[in-house]
Amino acid sequence: MRQIYEESELIPARPRRRGIYLLPNLFTTAALFAGFYAIVQAMNGRFERSAVAIFVAMIFDGLDGRIARLTHTQSAFGAEYDSLSDMVSFGVAPALVVYEWALKGLGKLGWVAAFIYCAAAALRLARFNTQMDVVDKRYFQGLPSPAAAALIAGLVWLMLDFEVQGRDIRMLAWVLTVFAGLTMISNIPFYSFKDLNFRKSVPFIALFFFLLVFVLLTSAPAKVLFSIFLIYSFSGYLLWFWRRRKGQDNGEKHEG
């Protein structure tokens, strides 16, 4: 996540400092290393390690911004460094991993799909950087690159758990890769969860739900993670359809 966001829109954003701070950028470096490690392991044919490394990169990427806000060390350097790290970990790494694992045998179709995903990640990050101050922070415009990367890595990890090789599901991998890439650069809204306040009390059922998810993650991480991000990747389309339907219904009522 970006290091310059505040937890609430009611809190004015702190100005970016021009210095370089060690602590948040160490987490960004860790995310970058995890993305690089995923690429190296894919080149060596160790695809499960590659998939896990991408999820590890997501964890560090989520921590760097929160550490920067907690320690008041947001900076312009940190924001740019975070974006470059995201491009490696959630753009280049997933594209190369899925290409080496499944798409390589498709020839031109394979590398075209991988490039579509990689280019879409770059475009998604560039648009995010230029529109961060004007968009509704409750929603992302297009699928976030970490979620798209998790969708690709989750597929690889899940299939390996079932002992399914990439060559056996090449077309499924191709479709999912292109879908993730195009959804990143779409205008489909995705809920960002930025308006959730974890400092407030929550119902007991919410605590039970989080405990259930934690138990499921520890018992079947590949299945749970892939399911979560697959549902999330389609949630934006459902939200878009619901908004569109609601707008049409309101227009019909107004005309009546």
pLDDT by residue (tens digit) across 30-59? 999 999 999 999 999 999 999 999 999 999
Out of 48-62, 133-147, 173-187, pick the least confident.
Answer: 133-147
**Which of 50, 25, 23, 24 has its CA nearest to residue 39?**
50
Q: What is the mean pLDDT of the chain?
A: 86
Domain 22-196+204-255 belongs to what topology?
Four Helix Bundle (Hemerythrin (Met), subunit A) (1.20.120)
Task: Determine the pLDDT at residue 3.
Answer: 46
Residue 7's pLDDT is 38
Distance CA 90, CA 223 (A): 20
Whole-angstrom distance, CA of residue 32 vs CA of residue 255: 54
pLDDT at 10: 42
Nearest to 73 by CA among 30, 19, 28: 19
Alpha helices (H) in the chain, listed in sequence order: 22-43, 47-70, 76-87, 93-101, 108-131, 145-161, 170-184, 204-219, 221-255
pTM: 0.85
